[in-house]
Every structure is written in C-alpha cells, then in structure tokens.
A and B are shown apart, each in its own frame.
Chain A
Amino acid sequence: MNEIIEKIKESGLKGRGGAGFPTGIKWESVISALEKRKAEDKNAKAYVVCNGSEGEPNVLKDDFILENYPEEVIDGIRIAMETIGSEEAYFVLRHDLFEKHEKNLKKIIGKKNIKLFKKTGGYLCGEESTMIETIEGKERKEPRDKPPYPTEKGLWNCPTLVNNIETFYSVSLIAAGKYQHERFYTVSGDVKKAGVFYFPEYWPIEKVLHKTENFPDEDFFVQVGGGASGKIYAENELVQEVSGMGAIVVYIISKTDTKQLMKKWIEFFYAENCGKCVPCREGVYRIKEILEKEEISYEDMKDILFNLRESSFCPLGKTVAVPFESLIEKIIEKHE
C-alpha cells in the first residue's frame, strides 16, 4: 500500500469539512476508481479539489489557516496530487478569502498545476457535488444525486478527491511527521474571547470553553458544528466531543430569544437552498411561515423537520433539521 495513505490511515484523520469521512479511505477510493478508468483508457484523469468555500456562519478556521499556514495547505494538495496521480487541482475559495489570499497563494503555488477558483454562489456551493458543478461552469448551482460519489465520478465525470483546507493542512503535517492529532476550534457567540484555537482533536465542549477562558458564568447552551447547521447541546451535555467543523457558538439563555434564533437560522436556509427538492424548498418555506406567526405550531414544524431530515435530496436539507430539532427538544420544551 501507498506509504502516505498508510500514514494517513494510521493517524485516524477524518475530513475536517464537517462530514468527518475517513481521509485515507477517501483517497483510496479515488485511486481505485482511477485505476479502473485507466484499464479502459490510459489517458484517464483524476482531479483534486481543495474546498475553501466555507459558508457556515461562525466558522472562521479557513481564513485563519490561510493566514498562518498557507504553505502547508498547498503542500497537502501537492501530496494528494502525487499520491493519486492527478495532474490538475482546483482550489476553491470563498470570494472574500480569494480576494484576501490570492496573491500569496499564487506565489506559493508557483508552477504547480493548482488553479485558484473564486467561489460563485452561496452556502450550497460548499457542498462537494455542487462545488463541482460550479467549477464546471453550470448555470444552476445545484447538487448531484449520489451515488455516484465524486470519488468515482466528480469533476467532468472523472474520479475527484475533494477535501477541506484543514484536511490538506493536516495531511502535510502527517507527511512531515509533525502531526500531533490536533485540530482548529472556532469559539464565538456570548463569550469574552472569541477566536480560532488549536487543540487536540475530540476535546469535550467544556474543556475547549475552559481552556479558552470562555466558560460562561450564567445559564447557557451551545451550538456545535456551525452557526446554522450545528447541533444544540444543553449544559448537562458538555462532555460531548466537539464535532463537525469544530465550531462552538455560546448562547446565554437570559440573553437569547429562541424564536429569534430560529428565525435567523431559517432566513439563512431560505436564502441558501437551491429549490430543487420538495422537502427543502417547501419545508423551509413553511418553517419560515410558521415562525412568522405569533404562535408556533410545533406539530407542523416537527413533521416538516422529520421530512427534511429523512427525505431531502442533499446534505443541506438534511442538516436544516439538526439545529431546530435539538433546540426544540433540549431547550424550548425543557423551559416551557
């Protein structure tokens, strides 16, 4: 087996874009898909895509990494290209990150065939298949049905490896033997010292809050994973590991209007969903409508959330249910 993949697997690295898929296995599936293609066509290609299109509110790590460790990220992309046998990579950046880091990244990339791509479109274009559609120049930026997964049929239908900025950064450290099983955490919300921090992975929520001196002295709850799609945890659940994109948003209960919070979330999903499938297009519309009424119909809302979770076409719709269901169950219904 390939040495670098062996090392990645040993490290236990999981994708840092939110879904947490084991990185080694993903790389292997791209390699085997490419091998299969090459058996039929020796000119078959594979692509590497670095996802820097972070659209999730309250996640700030991509900018932080690009500011401080751009060489490692580019090195990680290079390693991926060499490992899977790809001659071309795309580095997709959210438009503001593109403006800010383009010059420096170009310098680091030098002659490597890594193309910087300014993300067009919104939140959903961070979803890997939608991002691929975007790079291909499709007018409507909408997700693809899976399977086939991008590892098998991605960019221009070629096997494609899509990893997050932080994943490539970690790969670079693994290759250099410097990886310490650490990750980036973003802490924000009702805290005194918001920011991006670097600690060992899988730390419990409370440990991150304590170490960053952000543990509130009032009743609170947190949203973990991202400021829109993250899950809500109550104060008695803080031993949970920090997951997803490593973001913790703190809400002090006395300062938080849960209805307003839900409205903020739904406005976000209303603006960002593509409109392709019924549960997301219609469900999000109806939740918005329910929240605009004085009295919230939780019966309707719960049915719609179940439906979003179970039947949406892509991860966006499925994750809409996550913050709402956990907030209703753990906070709203507890305090009634």
Chain B
Amino acid sequence: MNKIKIKINGKEYSVNVGQTILEVAKKNKIEIPSLCHHPDLEPSSSCRMCLVEIKGVKDLKTSCSFKVEDGMEIMTESPRIQKARKTNLELIFSQHQEECSDCVWFYNCQLLKMAKKFDIKINRFPDRKTNRKINQCGAIIFDQTKCIDCRNCVEICPVDFLEVEGRGAEIGITESTAENKECINCGQCILHCPVGAIEGLGEFEYINDPFKDKNKTVVVQFAPSIRTSIGEEFGLPYGEIVTEKLVAGMKKLGFDKVFDTSVGADFTTMEEAGELKERLSKNEKLPAFSSCCPSWVKFVEFYYPEFIPNLCTSRSPQIMLGGLIKTFWAEKEKIDPKNIVVVSIMPCVSKKYEIKREEMKIDGMFPVDYVLTTRELAYLFKKNKIDLKNIEPQVADDPFGMPTGAGVIYGASGGVFESALRTAYFKITGKNLENIEIKEIRGLQGVKKRELKIGDLTVKTVIVNGIRNAKKMLEELKKDPKAFDTMEVMACPGGCIGGGGQPVPTDGEIRQKRANALYEIDEKKELRLAHENPAINKIYKEYLTSEDIIKPIFHTKFSPKKKTPIKELKNSRETEKL
C-alpha cells in the first residue's frame, strides 16, 4: 500500500493513503473527540465534535470524513478548535434530556466524559426536547427526549423502519407508520446511538423482576456469545473469555441453577442437522433456512412470508433449553414447572420478543419467562457490587452445564451451520468430518457463499449476517429458487457477538475479537461435536424417546405477521410488557 507522510500536532507520521484523519489519529493514540462517528457507518459529519485544523485550509474540517493527503499538517487542538467543540457540546446537551441512571451508556457515557474534558456547563441552554415522544415498538423503546439527531439509527436500520421527519430544529426521528414497514427488534439502533436514546424493553427497570417471588426456583441460562463480551463491562480486554466467572457471578446474584444455553445449542444442532438431512436427501423445502435468530424469523414472516416453509422448525437454543427445564428437568427434580422461573441472558433484544411468541408454549407455559441482555446482567452485577474481574470461577450446573465446542460457536456468524454441518455430515455419512473446522464459513463478511461436500452431496451453502444482505439473498432466490441449498442468517453484523443486547460500544474490531474468542473455546474443547455430547445423548435416550415428546419442546411453527402498533409511552420507565 502507498505510504504518505503527514504531520499531526507537529509530529511526523508515515501512514497509508485512503484513511480519514480520525482513523489515523485513533491508530496513533491521538485523542480526537467524536460522537456521531461509528466505524460501521459512512461519516455523516453532523455532530461537529471531531473538528481539526489543517494547514492551508481555511475552514475547520471534520476528521471523521476528511482523508489524509501527502504533506498534510494537522492540528487536533487549538483555542479555536476548543471553543467550537465546547459550544457544540453545550448545544448537544441542550437536546439531550439526561436520564443517566437508566441508560445503556451509564458507565461509559461519552457525553459526560467530554463534558468533563471540556469543562462545560451541561445546562447552559435549557433542554428543548422534554415534550418529545417516547414510543415503544415491540421490544425497542425510542426516546426522542434524548435524541441528538445524528441519524445513526436511521442509517443502520436494515429495514428502513426509522425515518427523519421535519427540517431544522423541528427535525425528529420517527418510527414508520407505513403498513409495509415493521421493526424486527434487532436492536442495532441501540448499539449505534451515541447517547442512549434507544433502549431495549425493560432496560433497566425490570432487571429485578425474576427475583420477586421468593418461593420459586429461579434458573438462569446464558447464551454462547455472552462469555466473550460481558468482561468488557468490567474493564477486561475485548474478547476475554469469562465463562466461569460469569457463572460464579450469577450464582452470587442468587440464581438457584446456572445452565449454559450452549447445551441448548447442542440440542438445536441435533434437530437442525436432522432437518437438513431430511430436506437435502428428499430434496424438499430447499433452500433450508436457519431459524434461531428471532429478528431474521420475523423479517421472513413480515416481509417475505412466501419463504416461511424454508425456515427450519427447530427452536432456538434458549427456547429448547427452557422447554427442557420445565419438562424433563422439572420432572427429574420433582418441581412443579409452574414454580420454575427461567431467565435467559442474551446478547439480543429480539429474544425478549421471541419468548412471548404464543406458539412457543408447552402445556400453556412459556419455556422462558425473562430475557435480560448482556448489558442488563452487567448492570445487575454492578448494582450488587459483583466484580466479574476478581470473582472466584465456578462451573455451570448439571445436566445443562457442559456444552460442546459446537454449541459455543453459535455466537458467531457461520457457527450455527458449522455445528449443524458437523453433525449432519455424521448423520448422512455415518462418519465424522476429517477436519471438523469448516473455516471457509467463518468470518465477519456479510455474505459467504460456499460449496461443501457431504458424502456424495454437494451442498451450496450461504452464510449471511445483516438483514440487508439477507434481503439481497432472498431477492436472488426469487429469481433462481435453486441458487443455493442452505442459508444461515443472523440479523446482526457478525452474528450474536454483535447483537443488539451486547455492551456498547460494539464495532467491527470488537466483534472480531469476541468471535475469535468463541472459536478459541471450541478449539480447546475435547468435545466439539453436538452428537457426541454425552449429557444430551443421555436425555435423548432416557426422555426424548418419541416424536410426540420431542416435537412440542423442540419444534415450532411460523406464520405471516402483521404490523405491530406503535405505542406512545408516558415515560421511558413505563414500558408495556410484551
């Protein structure tokens, strides 16, 4: 790559061409404040905080959008820059009604950090948006009283559900009222909002609800991707594996049992591999789509109902495990399932919606009662003074405490099908793959198209993350229904490790580190094939003995969906439970 020489604050740097000033500064640890900039998005240059001076250029320029050129001399600090940033920050604060104790950025608020740095009066200008609307749409709360109009949410929304309305100071972000637009609860808007104007349902006012009935057995399960992300909330490096510390923390919180959703994922793998085998060998209902991402499922049900038959009917790992807890485990432990509370810790806000889907009920009971996001669990830990960094590790409980590596990699895009294909290969050929690492379907690219050999079969498989990419694939299928045989879709970039319930900030670099750590766990596991997990084989053998038992716990159905009404809330704490 071409190198050029530039100067920042008088010091010379040799840098690659094509980068923005902000990117170069970040790499060289030169701090430039920025708010609306997010590496996932094209720069909008709207917050005007990252202004710099460039020698020979009259105006101040935004470093998020201005690219470095050979010989460029940049100043990132000066009284002129300082004054402009300061007033901009004061003006931004006047749009943002603070509600710091109930905010996804609580412990990591960029606004407050900047306020201290620039020593501003945050209330120099009175809040002007206190009467703006707070709306709930499914599992997402859109709070206009905090919005600073950067439009990151509008840009990131994969279904164009969010729109900019009005002009000038009357501008606002609104949820689409169009009958053909629907929020799919992916929560990417939450991760990309720099000021916490969007949050998940119940964040953070319902976090104590699971514990309110003292007479019940409260069981918690945690998703694969949590173990490599929650450490960030406690100052640990990105991608730090904290599985056992996490278990210990949850035990300390008072959960009676701590189970691992990755074991649920092993069950999902078994079921899905069975479906894949069936569909591929009979050449029916192809291409087969993964269905463990509830936002993807909702996207199909609302926007492309003609593809509903393509979705695999296997339930998602948390629902399978929840179902087993309230049936098999309840029987085994002799507890009335009505007295069991199942809580899932998920990287996802859409899972809050998934657990309330009527068709999930088993004997009139929902398999899972509460979903808390990674952020909410971290908040609970902090409120209870549990420091994940320094806690004594513990292991998860039997019989759902020991997943295979296959169950852990579910958290990264490609992981679900890698697990399913490892087992499908066995189911189809009777042998295990020689090399079980299907590396060609790993990685954070939005679309990965591969041809895989399973015995005599050549399977054209597509791995997708991001709903915009999924849409392209569905359009491709409309033109050529045989374009491929299987498709895994995760709504969030990179899969669940980039989920809408994950810690902020989340960006490409962070997603990569969280994903790498999941593969590292898999690599170190002795058991890496779902069909070789003795714990689940035992349950299949002893309890899941017939289709009549398996079906209601492990399979589901889908139906076309109508638009969810948008509800106006009195305040952000009085959300309507789903």
Residues of chain A at the chain B interface (Cβ within 8 Å) = 140, 145, 270-279, 281-286, 300, 303-304, 306-307, 310-313, 318
Contacts and interface: CB of A to CB of B under 8 A. Distances in A.
20 contacts: A270-B169, A273-B169, A275-B149, A275-B168, A276-B44, A277-B47, A278-B47, A278-B88, A278-B91, A278-B148, A279-B87, A285-B168, A300-B124, A300-B125, A304-B87, A306-B83, A310-B60, A310-B80, A310-B83, A313-B48
B46 interface: yes
Contact of B91 (A140, A272, A275, A282): A282
B125 A286 contact: yes
Interface string B70-96: 000000000010011101100110110
A318 B61 CA distance: 13
A273 B125 contact: no
Interface in B91-129: 91-92, 94-95, 124-125, 128
State the majority secondary structure of interface residues on A.
Answer: helix
Given A140-B164, A303-B87, A310-B59, 12 more contacts: A145-B43, A145-B65, A273-B168, A274-B167, A277-B45, A277-B48, A278-B46, A281-B169, A285-B169, A307-B91, A310-B51, A313-B46
Contact of A286 (B59, B92, B94, B149): B94
Contact of B51 (A271, A275, A311): A311
B171 interface: yes
Contacts of A281: 149, 168-169, 171
Interface residues of B, number: 33
Interface string B436-471: 000000000000000000000000000000000000
Contact of A311 (B84, B94, B125, B171): B84
Contacts of B164: 140
Given A278-B47, A283-B91, A307 B171 contact: no
A277 B91 CA distance: 11
Contacts of B167: 273-275
A284 B94 CA distance: 13
A270 B168 CA distance: 7
A275 B169 contact: yes
B10 interface: no
A285 B88 contact: no
B88 A307 contact: yes
B60 to A, nearest CB: 6
A278 B125 CA distance: 14
B364 interface: no
Interface string B144-167: 000011000000000000001011
Contacts of B171: 275, 281
B363 interface: no
B170 interface: yes
Question: When A and B form their complex, which 6 residue pairs have the shortest distance between CB atoms, in order from nearest?
Answer: A275-B171, A282-B91, A285-B169, A307-B87, A311-B84, A311-B48
Nearest to B45: A145
Interface string B470-496: 000000000000000000000000000
Given A140-B164, A145-B45, A310-B60, A275 B170 contact: yes
A311 B88 contact: yes
A95 to B, nearest CB: 17
A282 B60 contact: no
Contacts of A300: 124-125
A275 B80 contact: no
Nearest to A312: B48
A270 to B, nearest CB: 6
A284 B48 contact: no
A282 B46 contact: no
Given A281-B171, A282-B95, A286-B125, A275 B166 contact: yes
Contacts of B125: 282, 286, 300
Contacts of B92: 278, 282
Interface string B50-66: 01000000011010010
Contacts of B124: 300
A89 B84 CA distance: 39
A272 B65 CA distance: 25
Nearest to A313: B45
A312 B80 CA distance: 14
Nearest to A122: B167
B121 to A, nearest CB: 11
A74 B107 CA distance: 62
A273 B43 CA distance: 20
A281 B128 CA distance: 12
Contacts of B45: 145, 277, 313
A309 to B, nearest CB: 9
Contacts of B80: 310
A277 B51 CA distance: 13
B168 A286 contact: no
A157 B148 CA distance: 30
A279 B88 contact: yes
Contact of B168 (A274, A278, A310, A311): A274
Nearest to A281: B169
A286 B95 CA distance: 11
Given A275-B171, A281-B171, A285-B128, A310 B84 contact: yes
A314 to B, nearest CB: 10
Nearest to B48: A311
